[in-house]
Structure 1
């Protein structure tokens, strides 16, 4: 192992770049649908050794010394995100005649931007770098900070956070309710990078003992939590999830809108399967209504005929304000609640909009360059101002999140969600049968564990399903399946014994203090 580490440390130029790139790309196999988390025990030790080789040069200025390791982290991140989210380019092929030219910008450009955060992680780590175990703590600290920044900078995009690699199954998701994603990101890197100590005896025993203890606590807590969960909770609500798998190329085609709408109505009206209760709540996916409800009063009549006494219908629809005045018209991507009289009784608008998909950032500047948003169904969407639970006719309080809003850590609370059920409506038809829908579903599972509430997810073409408050899948459709899924959602409300966000922050700070103090002490001895 020492020989391998030595060879990696001595790499220079394009060879160092290539190894960092491949190590990052290899780490992407830890994410769904592969869930091969063991690759991280290879990728992160290699990253440690590559950083070891980024030694300071005599006579370098302070800024140069600080930025020297940045390319290592950037190439690692670039490889990780190209291999992990290449499928974003699939969305541009839905209207290939308009957007095929932009595929390289999605497949390579987005990873290039996201790689900046991993470059930042390595720069931070290198500032506290020493030798032995402390440098592992420094790397974990750097990634903890960088992943936190990635989740909030420029509206945030925390997709495929490194901590998710340590949560491939519900039994390994429970720790997020204690340390949050901030803590999971840092602790995962700390454990994954530990094999780097095989090449240096200093701190090896302590490091492996700590890693083994953390892994045992992580898995043990998960086993304990699942084994002590109530085995037969009462039913909160009977939900019907409608998954029609409408072709994205047809979705806003005016010539087939009535057919699409009728497909939704017919699927929703199906009788329950043998042994299933009549649904209390019927859910259609994101922007499932293929027209503006304000223009189609007959749609509300159809809703009134569909929804039976005591039922509620939640549909994804484009909501309009200022209708009739083009200059003041605002469009919202919304979940609209409809009662058994066919009346709209409540709505929640999407707050976290997708840049370039639902709105054009810096529209005045980029518009002059000929850039447009990808979604061409309506004008640019406006962001909603607040989120609130919608109460169904049966009395259940449902908190909706639209599409990728569900990827943001802690967005539904940490065991204190102001709702009985978390709802995620989405349209993953943009991405086809690629890793995208599987990664999206995984993040919804983790949000359910964070919130301590069951979660229902309705997707146009998958993955629709229901998970309990422990992240366990009760039932789900596969990608491209067509039909309705009737599920009895269990009544669960799980509180966290601590504040996971605060616990995660404290852990990251402690890692930074540890590595910083060791680095400072080493510096004093060398002086």
Structure 2
């Protein structure tokens, strides 16, 4: 009787393609909000068997081509199943963008799938028939994931490392090795069961899966020891109030609603407190369908809300003064700090913009505008990126590492140059994606940054999930997706800089280089004549 592993190894044509797509799609179930971690093993175990099947190719070139196609098919299934919710953004203004929905749901996954295609092909180039191929595959897929997170502005969403980055104990390993280190471990652990079906001897069948279980247990043990049994200390004289208006995206950026929106924000923010008046009120990203800094009446209303004893921090579009000869200045997606006098004390301008969402890449701008298209945000010419990441100064708060929207998904990129800050602030607007997995995935990734850096996370989201997270990734308080209201909470103190924060890139690079060198050496020994 032919085993399941043999059936996959020997599969050809449409059957092999179907296995690759289905296996990739199953892997998405390991991501938030589902978090079914074993699904990653169900996804990556067949990937090993499919690559085993390419060893029957007539030449190395043919084998590499087959591996790349399998990687693309696997990636296409993974990204369609994990990112289908992006299509919701095209329905916010359906009259203008609904026609492009298939390009968002299938086009982006088709492009992203080239990264695992590269990872599969690189692994195939170094493939050996023994158990070491699990390490080779983990290293090569980690490299392809790093490339996905950095090339062409980067998009590290639903990185396989997030499968282990959701559990409070398992995620603590990110404090040592970061997201991409978790990727290496996740892929290696989830791929190890492949040996149960293809090992030639009992030790070969069981050694890798046993080591994977030991690694998983060691990660859990490290996490259990690292996370303290009691809450961390709180920053003195700081009481946060996060306002979550749950404002639909179609109404949010309609200038006709400006007064109604401002009244809603003020009313929600004025809710009765628990006896501890807020010192800092935080509103989400791009809170207004107008330029706040050019609206004295709205600034005065905010000043009246916060009074002399509080500060308001809010997302808001900002425009520079026009240069001579220009009709309008440059627009920035910003965070602004406002006192009780209605004065803007400081600002942070977003560095990492969303392509096509906040701006159109310059090399495509003319072509896109020629057919009457634009970016999603109603800003003439789109937003401009800030040239550098700077600490946001907020009276009464420790130094703030500010992030806007998906800036929080980029590991190793959220801290400003200079002295280490004491907290991460993330304001975002996930209303584009409705009640889908997208906002849950976004929050999980932002939460992991707290663990990587050893810093508390304060997150204000228009529709949710708003939360305060301590530096161990524990959710201190939160408002659920789709809720309206305020969240009052204290600010946890930061802990010492983590190994990942200090040496993460060096640890990752050294690990991958050692693994690849070992793979090359093992392959050469196998091919060299005795």
Q: Same fold (TM over 0.5)?
A: yes
Secondary structure of the corresponding residue to residue 372 of structure 1: coil
CA drift at 1:514? 2.4
TM-superposed deviation, 1:394: 1.4
3-state SS of paired residue (2:55): coil
CA shift, 1:213, in A, is 2.6
The reply to whether residue 389 of structure 1 matches residue 388 of structure 2 is: no
1:80 aligns with 2:75: no
Aligned position for 2:89: 91
Partner of 2:113: 115
5+ residue gaps, structure 2? none
Q: 1:310 corresponds to which residue?
A: 309
Q: Verify the 8 A CA contact 1:261 1:290 in the aligned structure 2.
A: no
Which moved further from structure 2: 418-427 or 308-317? 308-317
Alignment of 1:176-325 (within 5 A): 176-199=174-197, 200-201=199-200, 203-227=204-228, 231-236=231-236, 237-273=238-274, 275=275, 277-323=276-322
Residues 407 and 414 in structure 2, CA contact (< 8 A), matched pair in contact too: no
Q: What's the CA shift for 1:217?
A: 1.7
The 2-side partners of 1:375 and 1:218 are apart by: 42
Q: Is the 8 A contact 1:319 1:331 kept in 2?
A: yes
For the residues of structure 2 that align with 1:412 and 1:331, how far apart are their CA atoms? 21
Cα offsets for 1:164-198 (capped at 9, x unmatched): 11122221111011111221111110110000001
Mapped partners of 2:328, 2:64: distance in 1: 49
Q: Tell me the equivalent position of 1:502.
A: 506
Match of 2:349 in 1: 349
The aligned counterpart of 1:4 is 4
1 CA distance for matches of 2:82 and 2:341? 46
SS across alignment from 2:3: helix
Matched position secondary structure for 2:250: coil
Conserved? CA contact 2:405–2:427, under 8 Å: yes
Once the two structures are superposed, the pairs formed by residues 418-433 of structure 1 within 5 Å of their partners are: 418-433=420-435
Corresponding residue SS for 2:375: coil
Stretch moving more, 18-27 or 363-372: 363-372
Q: Which residue of 1 aligns with 2:172?
A: 174
SS in 2 for 1:375: coil
Residue of 519, 526, 530 corresponding to 1:522: 526
1:511 aligned partner: 515
Separation in structure 1 between the aligned mates of residue 69 and residue 379 of structure 2, nearest angstrom = 40
Unaligned stretches of 5+ residues in structure 1: none
SS at match of 1:175: helix
- 2: CA distance between counterparts of 1:179 and 1:142? 17
- Give CA-to-partner distance per residue, 1:90-133, whole Å, 9 cap, x none: 00100000000000000000100110001011011001101121
Partner of 1:19: 19
Please give the secondary structure, in 2, of the residue aligned with 1:173.
helix
- Counterparts of 1:397-408 in structure 2 under 5 Å? 397-408=399-410
1:438 aligned onto 2:436? no
Compared CA separation, residues 216 and 294, structure 1 to 2 (3 A): closer
**Of the candidates 478, 492, 495, which is equivalent to residue 493 of structure 1?**
495
How far apart are residue 201 of structure 1 and its match?
3.3
Aligned equivalents of 2:62 and 2:3: distance in 1? 29
Q: Secondary structure at the residue paired with 1:147?
A: helix
Aligned length: 520
How far, CA to CA, are the matches of 2:415 and 2:194 in structure 1?
A: 36
Aligned partner (choices 457, 462, 467) of residue 459 of structure 2:
457
Alpha-carbon contact 1:121-1:142 (below 8 Å) kept:
yes
Please state how far the C-alpha of 1:230 moved relative to its aligned partner.
Answer: 5.5
The CA distance in 2 between the partners of 1:370 and 1:55, in whole Å, is 49
**Cα deviation, residue 326, structure 1:** 4.6
Distance 1:340 1:148 in 2: 44
TM norm structure 1: 0.94
C-alpha spacing 1:198/1:395, structure 2 compared with 1 (3 Å): closer
